[in-house]
Structure 1
Amino acid sequence: MSGLVNVLVTVAVVAIVIVRQFRARAIDTDRRWWLLPVILGVVALREPGILDAHHRIESAALLAVEVLIGLATGAGWAWTTRVWTEPDGAVWTKSTRASAAVWAGGIALRIGVFAFGILLGVHQDSSALMLGLAGTLLVRSGILAWRAQSIGSASRPAPAYGDGMAPAWKERV
């Protein structure tokens, strides 16, 4: 994919993820929470321009910093997300203002890394941004799935026979 397409995909994924996470929603720990981050990571790593051919060491260092920022942002986002259990046993999540601050900090750090790369004269491909986003989503989803499982299993009563069944109606003859 071209750099512009990578940027558009990254912006679209970020917009969708942020909008979805700031609304309360039930979390399903059985789903494949790791799938989207893995796909983004594979797409990012397939790009040939992820490292600058003329500045390999500097480019690799900036990429490593980008990924570390992504991992830290994902962890911060997951730990500032509110997780609770409803009376029916469903686990819900909703990002908080602190989560928005973590996102803002992560974006500011990424801008700083990009500016530092420009000062060094290193070409930075949009696939580095996509790889950092993949790390963010992977860590956040993993921590939230772990938190949801630990909260859900501790406070949810074991299901009893007949739970969730509609009551039978008596027939009149």
Structure 2
Amino acid sequence: MSGFADALVIVAVAAVVIVRQFRARAIDTDRRWWLLPAILAVVALREPGILDDHHPAASAALLAVELITGVVTGAGWAWTTRIWTASDGAVWTRSTRAGAVVWLVGIALRGGVHALGVASGVHQEGSVLMLGLAVTLLVRGGILAWRAQSLGTSGRPVPAYGRGMRLAWKERV
């Protein structure tokens, strides 16, 4: 993809994910929470030039810093997300203001890494940012799934009534 297409995909995915996370929504631990990050990582890694041919060591260092920033941002976002169990046993989640601060700090750090690359003459592709976003979403999704499972739910909605009760013969019609 071109640099413009990469930027468009990054902005679109980030906007959709951020908007969705600031609304309360049920989380399903059986869901494939890792699928979107995996797709983004595959698209990012398929792109040639993830490392600058003229500055391989510096571009690898900047890539490592981007990935570490992604891990820290994802973990911070996951741990600042409010998570609770509803009366029907479903696990709900919603990002908080602290999560918004984590996102803003993560964006500022990524901007600083990119500025450092520009100042040192290292050419960085949009695929580096896409890979960093994939890592952020993967870490956040993994931590949230782990937190949801630790609440004692199986990932399947539990009925609000009749939990563990056997049905009477007249109810089996």
Runs of 4+ in 1 over 3 A off after TM superposition: 156-159
TM-score, length-scaled by structure 2: 0.90
> 1:91 touches 1:152 (CA, 8 Å); kept in 2?
no
SS at 2:84's partner residue? strand
Question: Could you list the per-position Cα deviations for residues 117-138 of structure 1 after superposition, in whole angstroms to 9, with x for gaps in the alignment?
Answer: 0110000100000000000000
TM-score, length-scaled by structure 1: 0.90
Is residue 126 of structure 2 the alignment partner of residue 126 of structure 1? yes
Is residue 164 of structure 2 the alignment partner of residue 160 of structure 1? yes
Question: Could you list the per-position Cα deviations for residues 39-84 of structure 1 after superposition, in whole angstroms to 9, with x for gaps in the alignment?
Answer: 1001101110111110011001001100110110000000000000
Task: Name the residue aligned to 2:21.
Answer: 21
Residue 162 of structure 1 and its aligned partner are, at CA, apart by: 5.7
Is residue 12 of structure 2 the alignment partner of residue 8 of structure 1? no
Identity of aligned residues (%): 70
SS at 1:26's partner residue? strand
Q: How many angstroms apart in 1 are the aligned matches of 2:50 and 2:112?
A: 18
Q: CA RMSD in A?
A: 2.0
- May I ask how many residue pairs the two structures share in their alignment? 164
Question: Could you list the per-position Cα deviations for residues 81-125 of structure 1 after superposition, in whole angstroms to 9, with x for gaps in the alignment?
Answer: 000000110000000000000000000000000110011000010
> 1:90 touches 1:152 (CA, 8 Å); kept in 2?
no
Q: How many angstroms apart in 2 are the aligned matches of 1:64 and 1:57?
A: 11
Q: How many angstroms apart in 2 are the aligned matches of 1:159 and 1:135?
A: 38
Q: Partner amino acid for 1:9?
A: V
Q: How many angstroms apart in 2 are the aligned matches of 1:70 and 1:150?
A: 24
Instruction: Structure 2: state its 5+ residue gaps.
Output: none
Instruction: Structure 1: state its 5+ residue gaps.
Output: 169-173
